[in-house]
């Protein structure tokens, strides 16, 4: 007789019980393996401040990012959006995030220009990129992100993690009492801008004043400045520029491309599980795409409204002024690449510029050769009498 069987060849009772127990256990184990391993931790809420006034479309773009994070995170992580000044001023955001006073924030790299001028290369680079989407291509696929991390982590040792997001169109030359028809008119002009554009306009002879968005219109109204740029028709309209100036000069090379920056405190970010880190990164990509579509609708409508209902004269910057800007860029770049004030000054600035130039030569060559002229097709369909 075989061990574990009765004389009739049937399994012994003990074996039957063992097999039944094993079968049940196996089903339970299979069910356990099949179930997703989801943490049931309590919701973590982070304070996330923008550098924009609450009424500005830029704050709305920040909210679009926050909404995506809060939706995708499924209750495990929640960002609480605050407007500029709620905790710190716009230009103090990166320090507040680095210290942990804020958990994160939404701004632009040019605002940290005072820490290292190379910061402005990440978002407001010289006008060698065809558009801001090409800048994002360089950042994520051309080595830009590694250089950005070298700047914030190794050179400045700022305790933040950052993503670039949200491609902006070319920024206007700005708002003035009278048209800018010649480059000589810029000399002595008290003009608001930020980042490398400040060096550019200094080279052109302007007296540059750097102000956050919410302070520009009051300064223009009081005569503290003679002219100013901020960014786009929707922001400019809601911030009140048409109430204090009527000449709106569009097209410029001072900020040909720019993108937003999303920042988080590095220690808090590093402590997150991988899936929540992924949520923060991929939500910035999704919000970036959505912003590029939304701005097409809003910017075009607001430019038309200012011209048609608010008496704004929308004028194209004359070519001689644009050419003067390009010559000034040559001088600014040469000066900053040769800066020997510190080991992390000119050498790193040139390292980033070299990387950008290599990308733009290849990518811009491709698009200039590959794309048919949109001007030709537009004129064919829409410019006929």
First to last CA, the chain: 105
Tell me: pLDDT of 352 over 70: yes
Contact present, 100 and 265 (Cβ < 8 Å):
yes
* Domains in the chain, number: 2
- Is 80 exceeded by the pLDDT of residue 22? no
pLDDT above 60: residue 66: yes
User: Is residue 257 classed exposed, middle or buried when 0-12, 13-18 and 19+ CB atoms within 10 A define those classes?
Assistant: buried
* pLDDT band with cut points at 50, 70 and 90 for residue 385: low
- CA 84/CA 161 separation, integer angstroms: 20
Residue 15 in this model has a pLDDT that exceeds 70? no
Answer yes or no: do 116 and 145 share one domain.
yes
Does 27 reside within a domain? no
Mean pLDDT along residues 92-103: 98
Q: What is the CATH number of the domain that holds 217?
A: 3.40.190.10
By CB atoms closer than 10 A (0-12, 13-18, 19+), residue 299 is buried
CATH code, domain carrying 277: 3.40.190.170
Q: Which residues form the domain of 120?
A: 44-167+258-296
Closest of 106, 168, 161, 165 to residue 136, by C-alpha: 165
Under a CB-based contact definition with an 8 Å cutoff, are residues 88 and 101 in contact? yes
DSSP string, 290-358: HHHHHHHHHHHHHHHHHHHHS--EEEEPPHHHHHHHHHHHHHHHHHHHT--SSTTSHHHHHHHHHHHHH
What whole-number percentage of the chain has pLDDT above 90? Answer: 84
pLDDT grade, residue 41 (50/70/90)?
low
Alpha-carbon distance of 299 to 223, in angstroms, equals 27
pLDDT at 170 over 70: yes
pLDDT of the residue at 306: 98
The verdict on 86 and 216 lying in the same domain is no
Are residues 238 and 104 both part of a single domain? no
């Amino acid at each position: 007789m075989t061990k574990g069987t009765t004389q009739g060849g049937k399994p012994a009772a003990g074996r039957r019980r063992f097999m039944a127990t094993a079968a049940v256990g196996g089903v339970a184990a299979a069910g356990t393996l099949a179930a997703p391993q989801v943490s049931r931790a309590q919701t973590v809420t982070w304070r996330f401040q923008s550098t924009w006034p609450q009424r500005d479309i830029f704050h709305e773009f920040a909210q679009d990012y926050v909404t995506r994070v809060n939706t995708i995170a499924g209750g495990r992580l929640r960002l609480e959006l605050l407007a500029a000044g709620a905790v710190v001023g716009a230009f103090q955001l990166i320090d507040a995030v680095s210290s942990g006073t804020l958990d994160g924030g939404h701004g632009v790299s040019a605002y940290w220009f005072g820490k290292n001028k190379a910061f402005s290369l990440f978002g407001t680079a010289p006008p060698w990129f065809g558009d801001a989407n090409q800048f994002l291509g360089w950042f994520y696929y051309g080595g830009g992100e590694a250089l950005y991390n070298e700047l914030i982590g190794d050179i400045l040792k700022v305790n933040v993690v950052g993503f670039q997001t949200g491609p902006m169109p070319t920024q206007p030359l700005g708002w003035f009492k009278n048209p800018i028809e010649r480059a000589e008119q810029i000399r002595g002009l008290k003009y608001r801008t930020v980042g490398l554009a400040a060096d550019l306009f200094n080279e052109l002879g302007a007296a540059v004043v750097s102000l956050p968005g919410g302070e520009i219109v009051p300064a223009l109204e009081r005569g503290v400045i003679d002219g100013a740029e901020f960014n786009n028709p929707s922001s400019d309209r809601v911030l009140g520029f048409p109430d204090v100036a009527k000449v709106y000069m569009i097209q410029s090379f001072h900020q040909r491309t720019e993108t937003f920056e999303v920042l988080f405190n590095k220690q808090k970010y590093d402590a997150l599980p991988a899936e929540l880190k992924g949520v923060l990164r991929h939500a910035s990509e999704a919000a970036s795409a959505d912003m590029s579509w939304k701005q097409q609708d809003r910017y075009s409508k607001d430019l038309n409204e200012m011209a048609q209902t608010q008496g704004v004269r929308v004028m194209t910057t004359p070519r001689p002024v644009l050419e003067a800007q390009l010559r000034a860029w040559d001088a600014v770049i040469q000066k900053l690449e040769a800066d020997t004030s510190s080991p992390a000054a000119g050498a790193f600035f040139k390292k980033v510029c070299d990387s950008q130039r290599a990308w733009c030569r290849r990518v811009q060559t491709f698009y200039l050769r590959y794309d048919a002229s949109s001007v030709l097709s537009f004129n064919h369909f829409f410019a006929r009498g």
